[in-house]
Amino acid sequence: MNNISLDLFSIVYGSTQFATALLALVAILLSLVLFARAKQDAAWKLLAVGFILFGIRAVIGALETFSITSAPVLYELSLTGALLFLTIAVVARIATKGARL
């Protein structure tokens, strides 16, 4: 009985990781569209790059779950880069448009 519940958990957990990877790929594609449509607005481009890096991080995390790849350095660099780009995008937006509280 214990093996059945463990197998069910593995199936559910694997399915959620697969769904996360697919959603991350969709987010990467939408971020690429955002990047292409942001003409001269650097803040939007930085925001798109940050979301792309977050998507890469999610895909790598899902692949590590299935033991397809192991890239802990790339995983951490994509997270750090995403946070850096998102922070710069917010600061750039506030600096150019002013803080509206």
pLDDT digits (tens, 9 = 90+) for 53-83: 888 877 777 777 666 666 666 667 777 777 7
Q: What is the pLDDT of residue 83?
A: 78
pTM above 0.75, yes or no: no
Separation of alpha carbons 71 and 92, rounded Å: 31
Which residue bears the tokens 């991350």? Answer: 24
Which residue bears the tokens 């959620």? Answer: 16
